Structure 1
Amino acid sequence: MALTPGVLHVTQPVDGGVGAYVAMAAADQARRGWRVAVACPGTGPLAAELDRLGVHRLDWTARRAPGLSDAVQAARLRRIVGEFGPDVVHLHSSKAGLAGRAALRGRVPTLFQPHGWSWLAARGVAAAAALAWERLAARWADRVICVGAGEAALARRHGVPGDLVVVRNGVDLRRFRPAGPRERAEARARHGIAEDTPLAVCVGRVTRQKGQDLLLAAWERVAARDGRARLAVVGDGPLLRALRSRAVPGVHFAGAVADVRSWYAAADVVVLPSRWEGLPLTALEAMATGRPVVACAVSGLTELVTGGVGALVPPGDGAGLAEALLVRLGQPALAAAEGVAAAALADGFGVDGALDGLAGHTLGVVAGVGTGAGEACSSSRLRKTPDERGFDEHCQTPWGQ
């Protein structure tokens, strides 16, 4: 095994959770003395962050949507791999997973990390085609890194084969810490929010996946019952302009921000109305800041929003979403108690353990070592969730041991 392996990370998303994860993982591996590079588009926050961290970056221009340019992107990635000469290629998200596995076809040890399965982002024939591709391409990944047990269970249920392992996302607990009354007051002053204003905050790319359109529809119900309540939508994305034009009074669009911590600190409750997820960093950040989370009950979020830290509502249930928000906006003591519980739960999702787990699997792939049941259970020390029960067929050792 190479003691200082060469790792090439490949990603098309350069913002949001995927961009943040890639920067964090690449920087950690570089600190371990590994030879590391990231192939990604040269625009957006990821490129700037890699430059700040001193991580080598290679330009790989790729579009998010599939199309005729995919063959060109795959050929370009093949050349990058040939020039860099990695011991292992780590493909992040669907576009890199498509281009990388099609280009390399197992000729270089390969990790694939979906960060949310590709077929969930499509509908109809496109979804069926994406699922068929994942079943086929599984043979060209030595190991599939799932960010949550629900993501792994979803693959099994849909017949996606392969060496599936769970390395849960982690949050930097040194950076995201419980925000008390003083931090809350300072954050609200910074954003021009009165101390007694009930405030819900939604952080994330403004896309169909993240469900801000569902949230705005639900917020009409909230505003009708509590005229003091305010909603802050923090993030940029393709749906921002359209949603801004239809929002009711009391909704503030903050756009993309360099540091989201003050928005979490200012919030009474954080809301994630997502249609699908892997295991969202946004939820972990909000919980680590000591804020309750109201979310749609989709895979990934069901692993995090458990008893006493907020509320889960059925996906697409606008009335349920509004009611859960109104309860926490109208009952500060309940929201505060759930925030304390959320911070305690987030303490089990520290980033150091997640990065150690990822490094271990990377070295295992370089050495050609397969996983056993115990290795496939890389996870924080938490009790078993409903999503994890569906993963038992592959993971026979007790969770949390």
Structure 2
Amino acid sequence: MRILQLITRSDLGGAQSVVVNLANKLCEEHEVIVVAGEGDGKMWELLDLSVKREEFSFLRRALSPINDIRTLFRLVCLYWKYRPDIVHLHSSKVGILGRIAFPESKIVYTVHGFDSIRIAYRRYLPLERILQGRCKAIVGVSKYDGRNLQEEGIQRNVRVVYNGISAPCGLGHDPFTGMKGYARKVLCIARLSPPKKIDLFLEVATRLPRYAFIWIGNQYEYTQGYPSNVFFMGSLPNAGAYNEYADLFMLSSNYEGLPMTIIEAMSFGKPVVASNVGGISEIVVNGENGYTVENVPDIFAEKIEYILENDDIYNHFSRNALERFKKDLTVDKMTVEYLKIYKAGTLH
């Protein structure tokens, strides 16, 4: 098949990681073209050389009638250039424009965290309801998202496919060797944005001064005050590989779909303590491989300390995290599920 994968931004994030992993796996047997718009372009660096690339400078997240019309025109031209069998849309902005530009019988639209629309950008829900018939399938990345799509009146051809990644590759060296004197290392990988609750992360670090708290993904220097056991490392390529040298993964957030960063941590067998939002509790099971908790610093700190100070608990959680990854969260599993959706019905 000839498959178009489209996403709004070209910088690295959870949805972009899905596109990269899916495109790199699909290109083993199919022709794959990836389309993306604004951003620092770091996503492009991770694509297999056999994947064709189309950069759309006018494709931007912010609403702009001029840019959006230009993007629509280019999308139509792109369709006739490649005549794809499948058009897979990722993220809400290109999900809207793509469902206008392309034939509905060829479109699969993945919603990467429906809460971002349902809660943060609710004004776009009517448009999502109107356009739900303009695709062959709408995919949620968790059962939580699938239920909420249905409850919000988006009920046509809704499917659920868990995100997946390739088996991890190590860095080959310990990047945290300079962090001396700490009993354990707690890692978070996220952008500095309000939903990621950096304030909560810092409060937890204050309560646990024996541990180093490491934040990877800050796209600018964090200049406000923070405890001496907190380390900001900036935006790094292959950030998930840093889990190999951490002891536990922490993610605080107001809303999520199925975070790729948590899946990356589990692929290294790391216990997880995360906010109980989105589909996180479907893969992080309390008392099995970590905990999902309320966004309360004391609760986060209690669970992190409990895991890290009990070797038997830690080892049990670590084994379960790795087993769950291998069972449900690999790129092979994700690709098989998407291919079933791609092949459903008649391709024209």
TM-score by length of 1: 0.78
Report matched runs for 1:56-71 at 5 Å: 56-61=52-57, 62-68=59-65, 69-71=67-69
Q: Is the 8 A contact 2:88 2:108 kept in 1?
A: yes
By how many angstroms is 1:98 displaced?
1.7
1:28 positional shift:
2.1
Aligned residue in 2 for 1:345: 324
Q: Which residue of 2 aligns with 1:110?
A: 107
Q: Tell me if structure 1 keeps the 8 A contact 2:22–2:331.
A: no
Q: Is the 8 A contact 1:290 1:339 kept in 2?
A: yes
Once the two structures are TM-superposed, the CA of residue 261 in structure 1 deviates from its matched residue by 4.7
Q: 1:267 aligns with which of 246, 256, 260?
A: 246
| Counterpart in the other structure of 2:18 | 21
- Aligned partner of 2:196 in structure 1 is 210
CA distances 1:296-318 after superposition (whole Å, capped 9, x unpaired): 1112101011132111112x323
Note the alpha carbon deviations across 1:212-268, whole angstroms, 9 max, x for none: 343223333x2xxx432210001134xx44x44232221101112222355212222
Q: Secondary structure at the match of 1:112?
A: strand
User: Structure 2 CA distance, aligned partners of 1:49 and 1:158?
Assistant: 35
Q: Is the 8 A contact 1:268 1:332 kept in 2?
A: no
Match status 1:11 vs 2:7? yes
Residue 143 of structure 2 corresponds to residue 149 of structure 1 = yes
Aligned to 1:129: 123
Looking at structure 1, the residues matched to 33 and 310 of structure 2 have their Cα atoms a distance apart, in angstroms, of: 48
Residue of 201, 209, 218 corresponding to 1:236: 218
Q: Is the 8 A contact 2:116 2:256 kept in 1?
A: no
Q: Which amino acid aligns with 1:200?
A: V
Distance 1:45 1:293 in 2: 26
Change (3 A) 1:365 1:274: farther
Cα distance in 1 for partners of 2:347, 2:83 equals 16
Give 1:46's aligned residue. Answer: 43
1:187 aligns to what?
174
CA apart distance, 1:119: 4.3
Distance 1:170 1:262, change over 3 A: closer
Q: Deviations over 1:79-133 (max 9, x none)?
A: 22232221221100112102111333x455211001112644754xxx3312212
1:359 corresponds to: 339
Residues 325 and 264 (structure 1 numbering): CA distance in 2 closer, same or farther, change over 3 Å?
same
Aligned residues of 1:309 and 1:342 also touching (Cα < 8 A): yes
Number of residue pairs matched? 342
Distance 1:246 1:77, change over 3 A: farther
Picking from 152, 155, 162, the partner of 1:158 is 152
Alpha-carbon contact 2:5-2:90 (below 8 Å) kept: yes
Distance in 1, Cα, partners of 2:253 & 2:288: 20
Q: Which amino acid aligns with 1:353?
A: K
Q: Quote the Cα distance in structure 2 between the aligned partners of 1:119 and 1:297.
A: 15
Q: Aligned-pair distance for 1:338? A: 1.4
8 Å contact from structure 2 (residues 86, 108) kept in 1: yes
C-alpha distance 20-164 of structure 1, shift in aligned 2 (>3 A)? same
Q: Deviations over 1:320-374 (max 9, x none)?
A: 2222223234334432331122112222122212111111211225538xxxxxx
Given candidates 263, 272, 276, the residue that maps to 1:284 is 263
Which of the residues 91, 94, 97 maps onto 2:92?
94
CA contact (8 A) 1:268 1:328 kept: no
Deviation at 1:136, TM superposition (A): 1.2
Identity %: 25
Residue 6 of structure 1 aligns to which amino acid in structure 2?
A: R
Letter in 2 for 1:360: K
Query: Any gaps of 5 or more consecutive residues in structure 1?
Result: 369-401
Which amino acid is the alignment partner of residue 95 of structure 1? K
Contact residue 109 and residue 365 of structure 1 kept, 8 A? no
Is the 8 Å Cα contact of residues 199 and 267 (structure 1) preserved in structure 2?
yes
Amino acid at match of 1:83: K
1:254 aligns to 2:233 (yes or no):
yes
Amino acid at match of 2:314: A
Structure 2 CA distance for partners of 1:217 and 1:103, relative to 1, 3 Å = farther
How far, CA to CA, are the matches of 1:336 and 1:13 in structure 2?
A: 38
In structure 2, the gaps of 5 or more residues are none
1: CA distance between counterparts of 2:158 and 2:332? 21
The answer to whether the Cα contact below 8 Å between 1:119 and 1:131 also exists between their aligned partners in 2 is no
- CA distance in structure 2 between the aligned counterparts of 1:103 and 1:169, rounded to whole angstroms: 26
Does the 8 Å CA contact 1:121/1:209 hold for their aligned counterparts? no
Aligned counterpart in structure 1 of residue 209 of structure 2, from 218, 227, 230: 227
Alpha-carbon distance in structure 1 between the residues aligned to 2:293 and 2:115: 24
Q: Is the 8 A contact 1:278 1:299 kept in 2?
A: yes
Deviation of residue 274 (structure 1)?
2.0
**Deviation of residue 165 (structure 1)?**
1.2
Question: Alpha-carbon deviations, 1:175-213, whole Å to 9, x = none?
Answer: 269x9xxx9xx526x542347532110012332333334
Aligned partners of 2:119 and 2:13: how far apart in 1?
19
